A and B are shown apart, each in its own frame.
Chain A
Amino acid sequence: MCSLEKRDGVFILTLSGEGEHRLNPASIDSILSALAHVNENAHLVSALITTNDGKFFSNGLDLQWVSEFSSSRESRSQILGLKYAQLLVAVMELKLPSIAAVCGHASAGGFIFALAHDYRFMRRDRGFLYMSEVDVGISIPPSIMSIIRSKVGSRHLTEVLLGGRKYTAPMAFKAGIVDSVHENSGETLQAAMDASVKMGKRNWNKEAYLQLRFSLFPEVTEKLGLRLKGRSPLLSSL
Chain B
Amino acid sequence: MCNLEKRGRVYILTLLGDGDHRFNPSTIDAISAALKEVQDSPDAGALVTTNQGRYFSNGLDLQWISQNPDAHLSTIRIKFENLLASFIRLRVPTIAAICGHAAAGGFIVALAHDYRFMRGDRSVLYMSELDIGMKLPRSLMAVIRSKLLPGTLRDVVLGARKFSAQMALEGGIVDSVYADSPQTLEAAVSEAQKLAGRGWKKEIYSELRLGAFPGVLEELDAHRDPYLFPVSSKL
Contacts and interface: CB of A to CB of B under 8 A. Distances in A.
A218 B158 contact: no
A151 B134 contact: no
Interface string B125-147: 00001110111101001000100
A190 interface: no
A43 interface: no
B153 A218 contact: no
Contacts of B149: 153, 176
Nearest to B160: A202
Given A208-B135, A211-B227, A221-B229, A216 B160 contact: no
B135 A211 contact: yes
B233 A218 contact: yes
A74 interface: no
A165 interface: no
Nearest to B133: A205
A214 B230 contact: yes
A211 B229 CA distance: 9
A215 B229 contact: yes
A171 interface: no
B154 interface: yes
B151 A216 contact: no
Residue of B133, B136, B158, B231 with most partner-chain A CB within 10 A: B158
Interface string A204-217: 11001101111110
B68 interface: no
B232 A222 contact: yes
Nearest to B156: A216
A150 interface: yes
B157 interface: yes
Given A151-B150, A202-B131, A212 B230 contact: no
Residue of B135, B227, B230, B233 with most partner-chain A CB within 10 A: B230
A176 B136 contact: no
A151 B145 CA distance: 12
A69 B151 CA distance: 42
Interface string B94-135: 000000000000000000000000000000000001110111
A212 B157 CA distance: 7
B150 A153 contact: yes
Residue of A179, A218, A225 with most partner-chain B CB within 10 A: A218
A204 B130 contact: yes
Contacts of B158: 97, 118, 209, 212-213, 216
B229 A176 contact: no
Nearest to A213: B158
Contacts of A179: 151
Contacts of A144: none
A66 interface: no
Given A204-B130, A204-B133, 19 more contacts: A97-B158, A118-B158, A153-B151, A176-B149, A176-B150, A199-B159, A202-B131, A208-B129, A212-B158, A214-B230, A215-B141, A215-B229, A216-B153, A218-B141, A218-B232, A219-B233, A222-B231, A222-B232, A228-B229
9 contacts: A118-B154, A153-B151, A202-B160, A204-B160, A208-B130, A213-B158, A216-B158, A218-B231, A222-B232
Leading 5 A-B pairs by shortest Cβ distance: A222-B230, A218-B231, A205-B133, A221-B230, A219-B233
